[in-house]
Amino acid sequence: MANLSIKYVVDFIDGNALSTTINQENYGWVEYCTQHGTLYWGTVTQDWLQSNKITVLSTISQYALNSDKKNLGFINHLANAALNDNFVMPFFGITDSAGDVKLTCGHARLAASFLNGRQAKDLKIVVFAVKGGTAPKIQNAKPVLTTAEFEEIFNLRDIDYEISMSDCVEGNGTALEFTRAVLKYSIYDKKDQALPHTGIGNVVTNFWDRHGKNEKIQLNVRCTAAAAKLIQPSELFKTHITVESDNEWQWSFGKILGAYRKNEGANLYDKIQVNLWLYDVTEPVNLELLLPWMGGQFSACHTKNKKALCFDTSTDPTSIAIVGDWCQ
């Protein structure tokens, strides 16, 4: 039996398509890639992570400004999925002539990683370098030679999965990119992965819309002077900061519950009902990373590391949910 199958489909909605299928033992997607270049795997660098953080913050802002409920809900879902476990699939990217890595598959998972405070050493990536190209700038870069080796590295030997790629018509690897990586028969195995999460995205946008004024979300912040300097400008949030004493400002459930009493609330309680209290933060605070966490299922949440507490005093208090370490 021939190993190569060719199919041509005429479709007036999706467009005409020519597809090829290769069925051969010990021949998979890695073997296909290595015909045209080299695959590497490793962990991302801190510089790469910081560079991509700018893109993630901009993306979340655009989702919020456009009321993109579907994608906000997807990020919320992935962030909760990553709260206690790492993602099974690595990130996928390509490298240019200088070895710089461009992420082409895993953008939403990267956003969820930032929402959980993941560090560069925690994020594994697979990168394709075209034949004759420069090895990628990733940490501990090692070649991946076979599909079986890839499955061994990422514990996928007994799991059905799909990896999709695109290339130029010639199929010579010069324009090869990864477009999809998903576990089969899972909640993500859909043509539109984000669509099932539109409902939670609607709850997220409704929550913040209640607290928006003049097109910005009004946020009452309490923190020390040092922490205040770490709060980054935001096109989504307008902050009103109350500076607390270094010696007196510390985590206290009593103060948290007391904030629901009008006479003991923060200075601007009458005007602003969503509050952010920061404790001992040492890194820049990007408020966009807070936005996908608050979805109305609870009136208060704090990061695992207890460096950030967000709560809404427009409703009765509920139990305090634990979210990822979006704030460090």
- 171-176: average pLDDT: 88
- 21-38: average pLDDT: 88
**Residue 86 sits in the same domain as residue 151:** yes
The residues, any chain, with a CB within 8 Å of residue 208's CB and separated by 6 or more, are 64, 217, 291, 294
Contact at 8 Å (CB) between 176 and 33? yes
**Residue 246 sits in the same domain as residue 125:** no
**Residue 170 sits in the same domain as residue 120:** yes
Residue 206 inside a domain? The answer is no
Q: Looking at 196, 228, 246, which one is the last position of a domain?
A: 196
Where in the sequence is the domain holding 217, given as residue range(s)?
211-323
Q: Looking at 196, 231, 249, which one is the last position of a domain?
A: 196
**Residue 180 sits in the same domain as residue 272:** no
Rounded CA separation 183/127 (Å): 19
**Residue 167 sits in the same domain as residue 216:** no
| Tokens representing residue 145 in the block | 């030679």
**Sorting pLDDT into bands at 50, 70 and 90, what band is 1?**
very low
- 94-107: average pLDDT: 94
In this predicted structure, what is the pLDDT of residue 54? 94
Residue 12 inside a domain? The answer is no
**Residue 65 sits in the same domain as residue 145:** yes
Contact at 8 Å (CB) between 164 and 177? no
Q: What mean pLDDT value characterizes the chain?
A: 88
**Residue 192 sits in the same domain as residue 220:** no
CA distances from 81 to 124, 151, 186, 270, 294 (A): 17, 22, 13, 36, 15
- 50-75: average pLDDT: 94
**Residue 134 sits in the same domain as residue 228:** no
**What's the predicted TM-score (pTM) here?**
0.89
Residue 144 inside a domain? The answer is yes
Residue 100 inside a domain? The answer is yes
In this predicted structure, what is the pLDDT of residue 269? 43
Residue 119 pLDDT > 70, yes or no? yes
Residue 297 pLDDT > 80, yes or no? no
Rounded CA separation 53/50 (Å): 5
**Sorting pLDDT into bands at 50, 70 and 90, what band is 200?**
confident
**Residue 287 sits in the same domain as residue 217:** yes
**Residue 155 sits in the same domain as residue 234:** no
Residue 263 pLDDT > 70, yes or no? no
**Residue 149 sits in the same domain as residue 269:** no
Q: Looking at 164, 196, 228, which one is the last position of a domain?
A: 196
Percent of the chain whose pLDDT exceeds 90: 59
How many structural domains does the chain have? 2
**Residue 189 sits in the same domain as residue 241:** no
H or E, element range at 178: strand 177-183
Residue 9 inside a domain? The answer is no
Question: Of 24-38, 168-182, 219-233, 247-261, which has the strongest mean pLDDT?
Answer: 219-233
Contact at 8 Å (CB) between 170 and 75? no
